[in-house]
Amino acid sequence: MSLTNSTFMLEVKNLNKKFGDFHAVKNLNFQIRKGEIFGFLGPNGAGKTTTMRMVTCYMPPSSGSIQVEGLDTSFQSLAVRKKIGYLAESNPLYSDMTVQEYLKFVGEIRGISGSKLQSRIGEMFSVCGLTKMAYRQIGKLSKGYRQRVGLAQAMIHNPDLLILDEPMSGLDPNQIIEIRNLIKNLGREKTVIYCSHILSEVSATCDRILIINDGEIVASGTPDELTQKSSKGNRYMAKIKGDRSDIESKVLSITGVSRINILKVDSDWVSAEIDASQDDIGESLFRCVVDNGWSLSELRHESASLEDVFTQLTRG
């Protein structure tokens, strides 16, 4: 079923970028719906930054097209830039300015003035939790508050699309929770592209995720969809007391078991890794133990993480 342009905040079609003989981005095709928090992942050198630079109109594509809410980045770049807010990984700020001075400066660059600018600054203080820091010099702020200032400058002009590049970089656990909650709140009103190497945060924050490697898309879907595709997605860890060969043969005979790997044998206790070709074999494993008179001290389902999926897809 085809959807109208109004359904999507971002549409990337057949996107390519070459630097001489080096093909950095290869025929990317993806769409981001309005109101999504979208994770954009890849190892260093995969083409993430190059793609985001094309989306933000910093550089043109070699071929293909990018549309932001129906506007083409190649022909309507000024209009596109008005719709985008960008927090760069380095988060460049003027450390000698106060937070109030800096947001006023950025707002004026964005073409906002007078009472509207003051209103937007006040709103950013509230949304980003910066009210108490309004007259604090940026250079004296903690890393967490500087990230908040970076988010505020990205949103001062009320953009429809927010691009956040490593927003958790250098934050302590408490600051990460604060910024994660802030991003989730922003996602209720904005479309957010979230680029990060902190994969647990991407999994906890994003509605959908796209992974690229060597300039090409290697996977896309919700966090659950991606982890279910992992070879580790249906793995059980068991510790059973019994004869090793007997355990191996009888566990392998269970419907749905595709592999058993003996990890350790300590006296009569056998620690094993069991892979399944179907969703839930936990009850069948337990019944096998009972029927054979073995003892069981451990049986757990080993869920795949986004890190597992990322590693499998980007290390070949």
Q: Which domains does the chain have, with CATH numbers?
A: 5-221 (3.40.50.300), 235-305 (3.30.70.3190)
Residue 211, amino acid: I
2 confidence band (pLDDT: 50, 70, 90):
very low
Q: Which residue has the tokens 């549409």?
A: 11
163 confidence band (pLDDT: 50, 70, 90):
very high
Query: What torsion do the CA atoms of 224, 226, 228, 231 make, to the nearest 10 degrees?
Result: -150
pLDDT at 167: 84
276 confidence band (pLDDT: 50, 70, 90):
confident
213-223 mean pLDDT: 92
Strand order in the sheet with 71-72: 22-33, 8-19, 63-68, 71-72
CB atoms within 10 A of CB 110: 18
pLDDT at 185: 84
Q: Cα–Cα distance between 61 and 52 in angstroms, integer?
A: 11
Which residues pair with residue 261 across a beta bridge? 273
Reply yes or no on whether the pLDDT at 4 is more than 50: no
Q: Report which of 222, 139, 130 is spatially closest to residue 182, judged by C-alpha positions.
A: 130
Handedness of CA 225, 226, 227, 228 (dihedral sign): positive
57-78 mean pLDDT: 95
Q: What are phi and psi of 13, to 5 degrees?
A: -130, 125
pLDDT at 181: 86
Which residues pair with residue 260 across a beta bridge? 274
Strand order in the sheet with 257-266: 257-266, 269-276, 235-241, 295-302
Token pair in block for residue 31: 């769409």
Which residues pair with residue 63 across a beta bridge? 16
pLDDT at 3: 41
Token pair in block for residue 130: 């910066």
165-187 mean pLDDT: 82
pLDDT at 139: 96
Contact 147, 177 (CB under 8 A): no
Reply yes or no on whether the pLDDT at 179 is more than 90: no
pLDDT tens digits for range 85-109? 999 888 889 999 999 999 999 999 9
Reply yes or no on whether the pLDDT at 233 is more than 80: no
225-251 mean pLDDT: 84
Contact 201, 184 (CB under 8 A): no
Query: What distance lies between CA 304 and its chain's CA centroid?
Result: 16
According to DSSP H, which parts of the chain are helical? Answer: 48-55, 77-83, 99-109, 114-127, 143-155, 173-186, 199-205, 223-228, 244-252, 282-291, 306-314
Contact 85, 23 (CB under 8 A): no
pLDDT at 174: 82
Residue 48, amino acid: K
